[in-house]
Amino acid sequence: MSLWLLVSGDFSLHGGMDRANLALATHLAADPEVELHLVTHRAATELFDVGRVRVHLARRPFGSHVLGEPFLARQSTAWAARVASRGGRVVVNGGNCPWFDVSWVHYVHAAYEPEHRTSLVRRVKGRFRRGRDLTHERRNLTRARLAVCNSRRTQRDLVERLAVPVSRTRVIYYGIDRERFALVGPDEVRAARQTLGWPADRRHILFIGALGDRRKGFDTLFEAWAELCREPSWDGHLVVAGAGAEQPLWRRRFAQAGLASRATFLGFREDVERLVAASDALVHPARYEAYGLGVHEALCRGVPALVSADAGVAERYPPELADLLIQDPESAGELAGRLRAWRERRDGVRRLLRPFADRLRERSWDDMAADIVAAVRSAA
């Protein structure tokens, strides 16, 4: 019987790193030779039903992950000591627990400084949290036995910004739920649009991402969209799935620009696979993206995704889809141009995307988890 501890804020289906952590936990829980401990704020209900899995819930005051971080760190450190004393392995996420066995890196705080514009209080909180995150990140990743990276982009950031030896890193890409994100067909497109109430005479462009700061590049998208909507031939309708402190600001900006009828704000959604199925394309001009699971999911459904060229997921794009890669996420003009080019050859882009989508779907979440388990076991 082998012993494992995983430490993560969430083990759930929603959110890139949360979904990845759930996949690893599920894989280990299915092994009859593994005793698994999870320290977390929230976990999927099925994990509580496995006899060899022990879920240790950390406090989360007022439902806030930020306020819950010290409780998660304290409780996970205590359990890490117990597990390590019995010869077990400990996998933390980034710097969320001061333990130096294996750190799974989904985001590098040293690679990007968030920009908050909603209020002075939010800016002060953001600077405080970033300082804390940088300290914890450097503490963990410079001492970890192994850093599992979700992309080569993440690996480079660890080596160049934190001086982590490349020999102590391993790139392991995310997987996918093959059934949930299967290639979409015409009948499913029609059904999804009918269910969502989307008009059939528009080209629907989907944006998925939090609107709490400017990292996802929604300000660039707004400027590009305003430019495109001045053209009589542009028939696109923007659909925004995501919540955050800046969402009211962007609603007002669209209304003030006379574009309220050219965009729909949905807030946080759990039916991502349906939204993707109903969309003609996805756009993601992020200033920093360690990977980009939403882009990955759209591609697996056969939906073209325009994404920043330095995002982790972009390194997996084949040369024939290079026109979908945004070289400068600050440039609204470039983004507008790439959306026009996609619109003009959208059927051809779909055909080019098909073999890439098939290759991405070959790698399941269980494949990813198996690779991580093998890497951890081989790390002395």
CA torsion through residues 126, 293, 340, 194, sign: negative
Predicted confidence (pLDDT) per residue in 85-114, tens digit: 999 999 999 999 999 999 999 999 999 988
CATH class for the region spanning 2-175+364-378: alpha beta
Tell me the C-alpha distance between 130 and 134, whole Å. Answer: 6
E-strand ranges in 209-366 read 236-241, 263-267, 281-284, 305-308, 325-326
By C-alpha distance, which of 240, 243, 241 is closest to 213? 243
Predicted confidence (pLDDT) per residue in 170-195, tens digit: 999 999 999 999 999 999 999 999 99
Q: What is the pTM of this model?
A: 0.93
The pLDDT assigned to 123 comes to 66
Query: Does the structure show a pLDDT above 90 at 351?
Result: yes
Query: Does the structure show a pLDDT above 80 at 117?
Result: no
Tell me if domain 2-175+364-378 and domain 186-361 are identical in fold.
Answer: yes
Confidence of residue 115 (pLDDT cuts 50, 70, 90): confident
By C-alpha distance, which of 314, 19, 23, 300 is closest to 184? 300
Which one-letter amino acid corresponds to residue 354?
A: R
Predicted confidence (pLDDT) per residue in 277-324, tens digit: 999 999 999 999 999 999 999 999 999 999 999 999 999 999 999 999
Query: Does the structure show a pLDDT above 70 at 116?
Result: no
The pLDDT assigned to 155 comes to 98
Q: Residue 38: enclosing H or E segment and its boundaries?
A: strand 34-40
Tell me the C-alpha distance between 153 and 292, whole Å. Answer: 11
Of residues 123 and 133, more confidently modeled = 133
Confidence of residue 233 (pLDDT cuts 50, 70, 90): very high
CATH class for the region spanning 186-361: alpha beta
Confidence of residue 50 (pLDDT cuts 50, 70, 90): confident
Over residues 123-147, the mean pLDDT reads 88
Over residues 156-167, the mean pLDDT reads 97
Domain limits, the chain: 2-175+364-378, 186-361
